[in-house]
Amino acid sequence: MSTLAAQLDQLRGDAPATRHNARTIAALTANPGCARRALLDAAAVDKTVIAQSLGFPPQFGQSQFAITRGNAFEAMVKANGCAELLALLRDKLGLTIPEVAYHDLNSVGENTGNAVRHQRTRQLLKASIAAGDGTLFDHPMLRLDIAGAAAYLEPDVVAVQLDGKFHVVEIKAFPVIDGQADPAQVAAAARQSAVYVIALRELMTEIGESPELVSHNVILVCAKNFTNRPTAELVDLRKQLAVVSRQLTRLTAIPELLDLLPPAASFAPGEDLEKTIAAIPARYAPECMSSCELAFACRDEARTCGSVDALGRGVCDEVGGIDNIHTVLGLADGTLEPGPEHADITAMLRTAHRLRLEIAG
């Protein structure tokens, strides 16, 4: 075990490790400046337990009903060697698929370990490229470096050699009604799928193949209208791929973040947990409320210290360079004099303050 992995295991303590998935990575890349989330995720800590221990339990998440329905829908689409999926690819998307092999990679023999499944995925993908055949891989195991720590990921399906390209297949149970789906759900699925595409392209590079073998289009399978029957669409991910790739490069390296912690620090619930969490810088924004379990704790912290971050990124951009609400208010009402670097911002703040007084007055 590497020194970094040992340090992260020590931080987690006796608690079982949680795993990254595409949703958590997509959320992490949406706020790459948050060192707190980066380190907690790298240590595979259950952030819900941390938030509850701090007295700020999260108030979002999928219902058990939605999870059960999603699992049942995926199982139906992939039943009998993905027969339903193959019919969709041929009939709905018009892809030429003669004969297709099927590999179930949920386990290798009886071994369900991530490393073993990842190695088997590499072997089978390389063999499929050499043979030039069509193959469906059920839950292949991919790997992606997240700020210096390896994260294992498993897309629903990878379809090989469809029109000469590998395609990630993402299966979601939300409905497509009269050809239209909820834009927010489609956007979330696209961001998650982009993470899978990046990880699959990384694997291609590792085995000496071109990452361009992986299509920038994801095959999104959803429920049709109000039925449980599936429909499929190709979704172009080029925009999402560019954004996620750029954000991944901006994530702070995990070894540097470990240096911020006191000796013998632990994320296990206890009297020192609050001090340990406080030692890691957070970058709270209102958008965190829908994607991070620690959002309520970080919001309370931001409000207490008067951080401009609590007002949202739009405000932060407008008052760039000023990170404290009290400083902003002081510059606006004239009780503080600006330095040369804040002259332009102060003029804008004082104009806004004067207009507000006139409207109120």
User: Is 14 among the domain residues?
Assistant: no
- The range of the structural domain enclosing residue 138 comes to 64-241
Average pLDDT for residues 347-357, to the nearest whole number?
A: 77
Which pLDDT band holds residue 241 (cuts at 50, 70, 90)?
very high
- Looking at residue 61, what is its pLDDT? 60
- Looking at residue 95, what is its pLDDT? 67
Say whether pLDDT at 1 is over 60.
no
Say whether pLDDT at 218 is over 90.
yes
User: Is 86 among the domain residues?
Assistant: yes
In the numeric block, the tokens 């507000």 are attached to: 356
User: Is 30 among the domain residues?
Assistant: no
Average pLDDT for residues 193-210, to the nearest whole number?
A: 95
User: Is 2 among the domain residues?
Assistant: no
One-letter-per-residue 3-state SS of the chain: CCHHHHHHHHHHCCCCCCCCCHHHHHHHHHCCCCHHHHHHHHCCCCHHHHHHHCCCCCCCCCCHHHHHHHHHHHHHHCHHHHHHHHHHHHHCCCCCCCCEEEEECCCECCECCHHHHHHHHHHHHHHHHHHCCEEEEECCCEEEEECCEEEEECCCEEEEEECCEEEEEEEEEEEEECCEECHHHHHHHHHHHHHHHHHHHHHHHHCCCCHHHECCEEEEEEEECCCCCEEEEEEECHHHHHHHHHHHHHCCCHHHHHCCCCCCCCCCCCCCHHHHHHCCCCCCCHHHHHCCCCHHHHHHHHHHCCEHHHHCHHHHHHCCCCCEHHHHHHHHHCCCCCCHHHHHHHHHHHHHHHHHHHHHC
- Looking at residue 201, what is its pLDDT? 96
When mean pLDDT is compared across 49-53, 131-135, 239-243, 272-276, the lowest value belongs to: 131-135
When mean pLDDT is compared across 6-15, 281-290, 325-334, the lowest value belongs to: 325-334
Q: Residue 194 sits in a domain of what CATH number?
A: 3.90.320
Say whether pLDDT at 51 is over 90.
yes
The pair of structure tokens assigned to 258 is: 């470990």
User: Is 58 among the domain residues?
Assistant: no
User: Is 227 among the domain residues?
Assistant: yes
Say whether pLDDT at 96 is over 70.
no
Instruction: Name the β-bridge partners of 236.
Output: 217
Q: What is the pLDDT of residues 285-305, one digit of tens each?
A: 888 887 889 999 999 988 887
User: Is 273 among the domain residues?
Assistant: no
Q: Are β-strands 165-177 and 180-181 bridged in parallel, bridged antiparallel, or unpaired?
A: antiparallel
User: Is 158 among the domain residues?
Assistant: yes
This prediction's pTM: 0.75
Average pLDDT for residues 311-336, to the nearest whole number?
A: 71
* Total domains, the chain: 1
- Looking at residue 145, what is its pLDDT? 84
Which pLDDT band holds residue 90 (cuts at 50, 70, 90)?
confident
